[in-house]
Structure formats: structure tokens, C-alpha cells
Amino acid sequence: MSVKHVGFIMAALITTTMGCSQTQTRNSDKIVKNMEYRKLTPEEEQVIINKGTERPFTGKYEKYNEPGTYVCKRCGAPLYRSTDKFDAQCGWPAFDDEIHGAVKHIPDADGMRTEIVCARCGAHLGHVFKGEGFTPKNTRHCVNSISLDFLPANAPKNYDTAIFAGGCFWGVEYYMMKSRGVISTEVGYTGGHKDHPTYKEVCTGTTGHYEAIEVVFDASLTNFETIARLFFEIHDPTEWNHQGPDWGEQYRSAVFYRNESQKTITEKLIAELKEKGFRVVTEVKPATTLWKAEDYHQDYYNHKGTTPYCHGYVKRF
């Protein structure tokens, strides 16, 4: 039975296992993006993909002051709160803070400016400037309106939840977070018999728990079947007790359904895969308590700035 640090060493040696090649992972990222993200108009694509800039004082949200949340036009990820928006009189929406972990900062090639992109999908947002003194935070995110959508604070929320286990939860979370309509994720342990298990206890194989992920998604932007299909394509559902170089019963493949609809959809997808010749071993089990994993496991790859070593996208449907 392996632990994760052993997996990192083996990943350098095993080149045929899904996700062990970083080149393969980068290519699979592109495939997932093409499948899951909102179709853009040519004008949106010019800014969001090709890193253009909309003309100043023309954007929808430049003078917009309603309470709510600004989200990525491409993937729906929450980016900015209305309480952090201010009028910089610069011609574009301005924010002096971002939702934690939502925006990635990338130095421009000329070394003069810092680009800001959606941390989930890489959509170009604009640039960030510091030291201008507009607000006490001394920061200005200058964002193209065309890169944003807006969710009013009083809008009804149509959120749903799904729970999956597909090997190391780091890799499953990495890809789930990129799926359009996913609002949040949390990794933990489920399916076993011990309350409040620790990672060390789960790794002994004596608790019966699976490494799993809870996915909260906006049902107005996506649905359970779309996310479940992605689940079956970012891990190998034909492997029992392991994914890539990670071995142990905590790495079993399973869908923990929360209602009969989720169960029916999961069984339908498994039947489709079996008809295609895949010897699927994924278990279909009723959801039980998901015990939250230690903080250092949450959003692991984004914090580390690396990519999964035992997961990757493989088209199966």
C-alpha cells in the first residue's frame, strides 16, 4: 500500500500510467476546457482567449453598483464581491480585492504589468496595479466587463451536491474545479466506519474510508450527469484499489449518490461504458457523512502550483 510521497517518486519512473506525464496533463486540460466551458462570442473570445481589451467606458459593469458577486464569463467561477468594487474613473470595472484563490497573477512578458486571469479556467480578466492610493488596500484590479457575469445577491440559488471517489482526491479535485458550474469543492473521507478519521488512519486501510470529494454545483449552469461523465473521464474506473502509482483501499472508485436520480444516472453511465468494453469496477453507494480532510489537502495542486501525477483526462463517452 502506497502513500503519496512514494507516488511522487514512482511518477518520475512510470510513463505509461494515466496522468504521469505533465505534457499529457497539460493537453488533457485543454480537452476538458473545450468540453466544459461556455461557448464564447467572437467579441468575448478576443478578450478572454486572445487577451484583448475592450474600449474604455463601454463595458456593462463599469458603472454597475448592485450587490452581488462577479463571476467568470467562461467558467462561472466566483471572482469578485460587489463590496470590493470602487469607481476608479479609469473606464473599466475596478476592484481592490479578489475572492481568495479565484484570480491568478501573471507577470507580463514586458515586465511592466501583471496580468490577472481566472484561476480555474485561465480566462483573461485584465491587469492589476498597486500603489495608486485609490483605497486603503492600495490595489486596483482593472477588469474587462466582457470577461464577467454578475450574480445578484438576492438571486435564488439553484445549487446541488455530488460526492465522488476516484483515487487520490487531489487529482479529482484539480479537474472538478475546472468544470463549468462548479461552485466549490471539499475533499475528505467517506464510506467507512470511523468518525473524524485522520489521513494517517485512513492510509492504514483499517477505517474502511475512501478518499472522496464533495462537489457543489450550480444546477442552472450544469447538471449531475455532466459532472459524473467528467468523473468517469478523469480517473480510470476499471482499476480496483488504485489509481496510477497510488495503491490502497482508500483509492477505490465510487459514486456516493444523494438521491435516486443520481443513482439512476450513474448506473446508466456505467452501463454505457460497459457497452463500450470498459470493465468498470466503480461502486454505486448511498452517500454518508463526508469527514473533511486536513486543510493541507484542500485545493492541493493550486496551492502547490503543480499538476496531478495520477489523473488525466481520457475521453470515454
pLDDT tops 90 at residue 49? yes
Ordered by where they begin, the domains of the chain are: 4-36+156-304 (3.30.1060.10), 42-152 (2.170.150.20)
For the question of residue 203 being annotated catalytic, the response is no
Ordered strands of the 210-218 beta sheet: 283-286, 253-257, 159-166, 210-218, 182-190, 291-292
Cα Rg of the chain (Å, integer): 21
pLDDT tops 90 at residue 300? no
Stated length of the chain:
317
Catalytic residue among 118, 168, 203, 310: 168
Q: Given pLDDT bands bounded at 50, 70 and 90, which one contains residue 32?
A: very low
Burial classification of residue 201, based on how many CB atoms lie within 10 Å of its CB (0-12 exposed, 13-18 middle, 19 or more buried): middle
Q: Given pLDDT bands bounded at 50, 70 and 90, which one contains residue 36?
A: low
CA angle 33, 234, 100 (to 5 degrees): 60
Element (H, E) at 27: helix 22-36
What percentage of the chain reaches a pLDDT higher than 90? 69
Give yes or no for a contact between 308 and 110, defined as CB atoms under 8 angstroms apart.
no
CA angle 28, 178, 311 (to 5 degrees): 45
For the question of residue 168 being annotated catalytic, the response is yes
Measured between its terminal Cα atoms, the distance across the chain in Å is 31
What are the pLDDT digits (tens) for 184-240?
Answer: 899 999 999 999 999 999 999 999 999 999 998 989 889 999 999 999 999 999 999
What are the pLDDT digits (tens) for 244-283?
Answer: 889 999 999 999 999 999 999 999 999 999 999 999 999 9
Catalytic residue among 118, 142, 203, 310: 142
pLDDT tops 90 at residue 19? no
C-alpha cell recorded at residue 163: 460526492
Ordered strands of the 78-81 beta sheet: 78-81, 68-72, 148-152
Q: Given pLDDT bands bounded at 50, 70 and 90, which one contains residue 13?
A: very low
**How many Cβ atoms from other residues are within 10 Å of residue 98's Cβ?**
23
Between β-strands 283-286 and 253-257, what pairing exists: parallel, antiparallel or unpaired?
parallel
